[in-house]
Amino acid sequence: ISALETKIAELESMVGTLKHLVHCCQGDNRPDCPILDDLAGTHSKTKGH
């Protein structure tokens, strides 16, 4: 049960991160993408961050 609870916490953290990144995404052809920047381990310079 402990292993499942750990996995659930990890997945919930991922969901929170993805929700934030989707909110930052412009959805156009811009080369700067906060989702890809975050996955690459870099920090995007988007508005409000």
Enter the tokens of residue 20: 């934030």
pTM of the model: 0.55
Residue 44 CB neighbours (<10 A): 15
pLDDT the model gives residue 13: 95
Q: Which residues contact 44 (CB under 8 A, 6 or more apart)?
A: 24, 32, 33, 34, 37, 38
d(CA 49, CA 47): 6
Domain ranges of the chain: 2-40
The one-digit pLDDT tens for each residue of the chain (49 residues) are 999 999 999 999 999 988 887 887 777 776 777 777 777 885 544 444 4
pLDDT the model gives residue 21: 79
Residue 30 CB neighbours (<10 A): 8
